[in-house]
């Protein structure tokens, strides 16, 4: 009898990202709600009885339909989401939530209103200023509005008990995903960057209860075994792993992830929501404890100093910025962060990437050169 590779069940989800959601909908008759990344609180959707599904535009590198509606100088995250919706890939969605994090996502929401009038939709207006007295109250009222809206769609406005249950489930899931990141640090040949990402990315688009159960079958207790080569620790800042093939390239070139701020990476699982007290307050607390998304306003020095400190603490030899092409918030933040790194003598590389227009060969050449530069005495 052949033993099934426990990673395959996660890999399959990325190969056919909507299969689980369609299956869940057929089986339960429940509502599936899509959300663009980052920072839509899945717990609110879950506690209203819906299945939250993250939509990543990088899966639609050919955006020929969307380009009829959106300027060509739009990031692949937004362009790809519109492309998939227009060509019908997302027809199983009952609702869509788009977080307002930049002008592009705001415009994408207006486009969604025009193109899909039959679909329920919300613009989640995340706070841009995080160091302001009223931010927490504002965000709580925005979450409360979201809970009302999702409750209208599903017919179940989440109560405190339901929300606590969801918070608990998502905290447990995040704890397991953090453990996977730790395993990558201990045994990067087995718990590769590609595999760890596969776990987070699949968690974002299937029932979390089932995902948690499936993670139990992973080889948590396998002894690490000899690593093939000494790996070079890097810290990564960016949005999503775009193009997705960059992960296997980093594995292959002998890098390891010492820490990252990707919205489908460690940033997504770093902070939990406290289980005592009011659940919406707990979600606000989680948002505020999460590394601020590029383009959010905090005192500039604290953004830069906090970043350099996180890089130092990670022990990384260098920093890789994976900046989405045409992303203004990333382009705005990067020069200050890079010059602070320079002052601290930490090398960095900025790669401007886009699912549709970056050649893997070019990425490889630049990453190889970076590896050589930061490897020092390592082979």
Which residues sit at the interface with ligand SF4, rule CB under 6 A? 75, 77-78, 101-102, 104-105, 239, 324, 327-330
Which region holds residue 326: left if phi is over 0, alpha if psi is between -120 and 50, else beta?
left
- Whose Cβ is closer to ligand SF4: residue 104's or residue 257's? 104
User: Which residues are registered as beta bridge partners of 327?
Assistant: none
In the complex, minimum distance from the CB of residue 332 to ligand SF4, in angstroms, rounded to a whole number: 10
Residue that is written with structure tokens 């788009």 in the block: 98
In the complex, minimum distance from the CB of residue 61 to ligand SF4, in angstroms, rounded to a whole number: 15
In the complex, minimum distance from the CB of residue 19 to ligand SF4, in angstroms, rounded to a whole number: 26
- Whose Cβ is closer to ligand SF4: residue 53's or residue 78's? 78
- Of 266, 213, 236, 279, the C-alpha closest to 42 is 279
Token pair listed for 225: 């075994």
- Whose Cβ is closer to ligand SF4: residue 277's or residue 335's? 335
- Whose Cβ is closer to ligand SF4: residue 274's or residue 295's? 295
In the complex, minimum distance from the CB of residue 240 to ligand SF4, in angstroms, rounded to a whole number: 8
H helix intervals, the chain: 8-15, 19-28, 42-47, 76-86, 103-115, 135-154, 160-186, 193-203, 208-215, 246-252, 279-289, 300-314, 328-343, 360-375
- Whose Cβ is closer to ligand SF4: residue 211's or residue 239's? 239
Residues 6 or more apart in contact with residue 345 via CB below 8 angstroms: none
In the complex, minimum distance from the CB of residue 294 to ligand SF4, in angstroms, rounded to a whole number: 7
In the complex, minimum distance from the CB of residue 296 to ligand SF4, in angstroms, rounded to a whole number: 10
Residues 6 or more apart in contact with residue 245 via CB below 8 angstroms: 360
- In degrees, rounded to 5, the angle at the alpha carbon of residue 322 between the alpha carbons of residues 290 and 268 is 25
Token pair listed for 372: 């050589």
Q: Are strands 232-238 and 255-260 parallel, antiparallel or unpaired?
A: parallel
In the complex, minimum distance from the CB of residue 302 to ligand SF4, in angstroms, rounded to a whole number: 20
- Of 345, 316, 344, 320, the C-alpha closest to 330 is 320
Half-sphere exposure of 19 (CA within 13 A, CB side): 10
In the complex, minimum distance from the CB of residue 34 to ligand SF4, in angstroms, rounded to a whole number: 15
Half-sphere exposure of 195 (CA within 13 A, CB side): 24
In the complex, minimum distance from the CB of residue 105 to ligand SF4, in angstroms, rounded to a whole number: 5
Token pair listed for 14: 């990325």
- Whose Cβ is closer to ligand SF4: residue 77's or residue 121's? 77
- Of 120, 123, 118, 84, the C-alpha closest to 106 is 123
Residues 6 or more apart in contact with residue 225 via CB below 8 angstroms: 187, 189, 190
In the complex, minimum distance from the CB of residue 50 to ligand SF4, in angstroms, rounded to a whole number: 23
- Whose Cβ is closer to ligand SF4: residue 47's or residue 76's? 76
- Whose Cβ is closer to ligand SF4: residue 76's or residue 202's? 76
């Amino acid at each position: 009898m052949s033993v099934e590779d426990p990673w395959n069940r996660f890999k399959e989800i990325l190969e056919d990202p909507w299969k689980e959601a369609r299956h869940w909908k057929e089986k339960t008759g429940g509502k599936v709600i899509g959300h663009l990344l980052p920072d839509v609180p899945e717990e609110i959707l879950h506690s209203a009885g819906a299945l939250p599904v993250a939509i990543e535009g990088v899966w639609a590198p050919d955006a020929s339909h969307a380009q009829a509606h959106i300027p060509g100088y739009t990031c692949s995250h937004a362009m790809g989401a519109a492309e998939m919706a227009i060509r019908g890939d997302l027809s199983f969605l009952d609702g869509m939530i788009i977080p307002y994090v930049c002008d592009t996502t705001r415009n994408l929401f207006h486009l969604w209103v025009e193109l899909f009038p039959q679909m329920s939709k919300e613009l989640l207006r995340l706070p841009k200023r995080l160091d302001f007295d009223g931010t927490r109250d504002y965000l709580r009222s925005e979450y409360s509005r979201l809970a009302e809206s999702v409750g209208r769609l599903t017919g179940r406005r989440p109560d405190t008990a339901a929300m606590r249950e969801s918070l608990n489930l998502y905290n447990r899931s995040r704890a397991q995903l953090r453990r996977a990141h730790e395993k990558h640090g201990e045994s990067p040949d087995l718990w590769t960057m590609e595999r760890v990402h596969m776990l987070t990315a699949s968690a974002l688009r299937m029932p979390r209860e089932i995902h948690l159960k499936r993670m139990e079958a992973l080889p948590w207790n396998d002894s690490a075994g000899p690593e093939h080569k000494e790996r070079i620790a890097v810290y990564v800042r960016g949005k999503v792993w775009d193009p997705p093939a960059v992960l296997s390239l980093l594995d292959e070139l002998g890098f390891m992830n010492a820490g990252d701020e990707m919205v489908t990476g460690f940033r997504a699982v770093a902070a939990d929501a406290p289980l005592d007290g009011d659940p919406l307050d707990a979600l606000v607390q989680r948002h505020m404890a999460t590394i601020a998304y590029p383009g959010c306003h905090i005192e500039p020095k604290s953004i830069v100093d906090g970043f350099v400190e996180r890089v130092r603490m990670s022990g990384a030899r260098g920093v890789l910025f994976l900046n989405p092409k045409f992303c203004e918030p990333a382009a705005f933040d990067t020069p200050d962060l890079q010059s602070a790194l320079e002052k601290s003598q930490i090398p960095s590389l900025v790669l401007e990437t886009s699912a549709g227009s970056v050649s893997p060969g070019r990425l490889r050449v630049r990453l190889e050169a970076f590896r050589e530069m930061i490897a020092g005495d390592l082979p």
